[in-house]
Chains A and B, each alone.
Chain A
């Protein structure tokens, strides 16, 4: 009932190819945008912005980037943390070394730098694939980690290797309050999500998916694997680089290489897998699951007034979180996005499902 399409006739190719062909979807999207941009800033507390929304938005962007590579192009990567670090350090160095550079430009340029690095580390994907590629990208993670903690130039010769981001000023607007930072991240995420959606449903996306499904067959029908794979690495790295720059400059403010260690790579890969491979929505759901659930589990006992020791809470948090991951993957190996799709199918037929 809710998704009944009766009466919605498409009279042009354009209408048929719209991102959201169904009216209900468009309404809901508008509603969510309104909630995200208007309602949330009005009602949220500082804690929610700084500890929940901003990390969630930035991680969603990173997961989105990785999903383009792993989900849509089938190139398994474990170097996400390293690429995020490239974005973070590039943004820092650009703004420190070019005075007066607009931070937004710095973020985009940082994405550009990450693109170049991503392509370089994507070259092995032309020869190897699957698990072997995962190990090759792992090398990227270790190498980049090493570079940023060893080469003092990248940290502007900071003695401890920890650096702080300069304040973010855009057109004489200073982004120092949590609300402004939140809106900045949300705007960037929405923009990138639209871009990603349009890439994956267009020619490039089809090229990626053909490569993912059967690269030999794709090559036979005229797809150049080099172009497909390297473009996936490039676009994905761009997204991840911007996410890294935001994570460092907007969320942490001050960071060390440990903020982008191998655990970051793993957790983003888990977001993609749990959220749902090759799904834009899945990236966001996965990011919410991985970043927010532990915080929720950590605070639940207190909300219900159950007195447990701090150590016990954090052990319980790890156990329940782990168990939930296993549970979700058994119940729905295709991820949270798939659950949403099933729900949508059911709503379409409601109240007479078959």
Chain B
């Protein structure tokens, strides 16, 4: 008797849940596109998760309010709280993937860990993943990773651009010989992701790479910065997230490491990272994922159509912050992918499989970007079967104590370095998982 008593509760709960789910589904309108949002508004990374979630939600609201949806198809979206933990993220995915008349259009996992877990599930469920600026670097190869789209840049691209930038300010990549570059990273797949590329670059240019891990969530980094102090690297790359970033800046002050020699990844270059460090953060650099902070045409639309109607997800004054813009940009790419898919399959709600085609054929030229109100925030982007990244341009911005300003021009990730690594890693993955790569010449 004993063992299965708990199942009784379970089955009762399950039956109730099933009934309610079924009831909820009958309410769904036919002409609706369901867009799920995996967010974290609580937990150790909430200060960074909240503005992203607000931007994502506000842009989708804007499309509904201003345009009446995507070609008349209304967007229904639902948030699910992951707390940045992988198992909750997987649970959210399972909860949301079947909702709406055609199921979830596309997932933006917003965590490297969750991306890794969902990479296995997406091909089975036929739902694409947009991992804008994160995720698996080798998933640029769309012939193996058909369902992953690391749009606008991967961590390898980021690391490559940063190294190129360091080369620029030193007067050439050959000047890096004998220099020391330290990577202070979040000890998780996210933080480790740039290491292979940095190793490759170190081999080519003869600089020394120090890798210094910081354990999750990153509030204790005294030991890491002691190592920085001992070794005095010429540059410190910061691959942190959440409270780890502002702590790193404060620790840099404590060991007297110059902030203008620190360059963060694009997840270490937003307001929540520099504001807590106050005056000390002045001069701190980070790579910008195309966009930085600031308001452009689309923000005016959001303020008018969303905030003036009282439908904004966050605070009015936070519209235009770095992570807000990132969430908004991510939502825009989702919407444009669905729109592209509708161009082929008709103006109705799209299934995940159709949206996948939409992302793979996404082509935003300068004109279209201007039309959308994103001019200046985005470089033209063209996705293909062979290149799931779309565009590899980024800039470096610097915190001047009050706002972010660009200190470099657009720098493109060097594909002669990146692509062989992508191909090799993707081939290894395909072999492990018994995947036969698609022939991209026919796709």
Residues of A within 8 A of B (CB): 20, 24-26, 28-29, 32-33, 35-36, 39-40, 43-48, 50-53, 55-56, 60, 96, 149, 159-162, 164, 166-167, 176, 190, 193, 251-256, 258-259, 261, 279-281, 284-285, 287-288, 292, 295-296, 298-299, 303, 309-311, 313-315, 318, 337, 340, 344
Contact = CB atoms under 8 A, between A and B. Distances in A.
A160 B187 contact: no
A159 B195 contact: yes
Nearest to B13: A296
Contacts of B113: 162, 256, 258
Contacts of A252: 86-87, 90, 117
B376 interface: no
Given A43-B18, A159-B195, A24 B1 contact: yes
B432 interface: yes
Given A36-B4, A298-B81, A310-B81, A292 B10 contact: yes
B21 A45 contact: yes
Nearest to A39: B11
Interface in B59-98: 79-81, 83, 86-87, 90-91, 94-95, 98
Contact of A160 (B5, B42, B90, B189): B189
B1 A20 contact: yes
Contacts of A166: 432-433
Contacts of A20: 1
A311 B81 contact: yes
B3 interface: yes
B10 A52 contact: yes
Nearest to A263: B85
Does more than half of chain A's interface fall in helix, strand or loop, or is it mixed?
helix
Contact of B87 (A259, A288, A298): A259
B418 interface: no
Nearest to A53: B10
17 contacts: A25-B1, A32-B7, A35-B11, A39-B11, A45-B98, A51-B91, A56-B10, A252-B87, A252-B90, A255-B86, A255-B116, A255-B117, A280-B2, A310-B41, A314-B81, A340-B5, A344-B1
Interface stretch (B119-127, B347-355, B378-386): B119-127
Given A56-B10, A149-B187, A311-B50, A159 B4 contact: no
B53 interface: yes
Contacts of B91: 51, 55, 295
A47 B95 contact: yes
B351 to A, nearest CB: 16
What size tier do the contact residues of chain B reach? 35 or more
Nearest to B118: A254
B81 A285 contact: no
Contacts of B90: 50-51, 252
Contacts of A253: 117, 120-121
B116 A254 contact: yes
Given A252-B87, A295-B91, A36 B53 contact: no
B39 A288 contact: no
A251 B87 CA distance: 9
B367 interface: no
Contacts of A344: 1
B79 A310 contact: yes
Nearest to B22: A45
A288 B116 contact: no
B14 interface: yes
Given A45-B18, A310-B79, A40 B11 contact: yes
B232 interface: no
B197 to A, nearest CB: 9
A311 B196 CA distance: 36
Contact of B17 (A29, A48, A315): A48
A45 B97 CA distance: 12
Interface string B408-442: 00000000000000000100000011100000000
Contacts of A340: 2, 5
- Name the 4 nearest CB pairs between A and B, nearest first: A32-B4, A311-B41, A281-B2, A160-B189
A310 B189 contact: no
A160 B111 CA distance: 13
A187 to B, nearest CB: 13
Contacts of A46: 94, 98
Given A43-B18, A160-B112, A160-B192, A254 B117 contact: yes
A29 B3 CA distance: 8
